[in-house]
Structure 1
């Protein structure tokens, strides 16, 4: 259950942060209404709260692991939402990041 919870929280955080940044991008760069940026700011705030729900108590570890999720999630968002087509180096970079996430989050550590 813990691994499923960790994964779901990372996905929720990714949607909130990447979606928030995308909404702001749309308002500033693509001429969407400015209230899109307001929604983006709210989504980015939600990301900050979602990260606190992770079971690991170490902020640095959670944020570092999320960095890898952000890399892969951003490329996936681009594919699904913007029609972006990653090249093999994008895919390889994402895989490397996700391996790093697994090492950071899943490797057993001695109890403190």
Structure 2
């Protein structure tokens, strides 16, 4: 019983140690499209859905460190109201283990919101 418990407890760490080492180098990029929701005071519904997108790019500083930047946007049009949300940020990603996908992410960014009506312009 004790032997089977020790094997069960150490098996994940043994498998982790035997995995292939990850290679991180060069330039990287990522993009995506999706659907998200946000609050809208001028819309018929208080919470509305809209198209969302992201574009990110960066470079590898070392096997354990990458540096990047991303832009995110969300847009919703309902009647004569168009709401846009956006964000720009810079990130640093740290990989503490060379054989795992685990990473720690830190960043700093800015975001903004714009609501326009066809009759009144930007609010």
Question: Considering the TM-score relative to the shorter chain, is it more than 0.5?
Answer: no
Which structure: larger Rg?
A: 2
Q: Under a length normalisation based on structure 2, what TM-score does the superposition of the two structures give?
A: 0.25
In terms of fraction of residues, the more strand-rich structure is 2
Q: Under a length normalisation based on structure 1, what TM-score does the superposition of the two structures give?
A: 0.26
In terms of fraction of residues, the more helix-rich structure is 1
Structure of greater relative contact order (alpha carbons < 8 Å, 6+ residues apart): 1
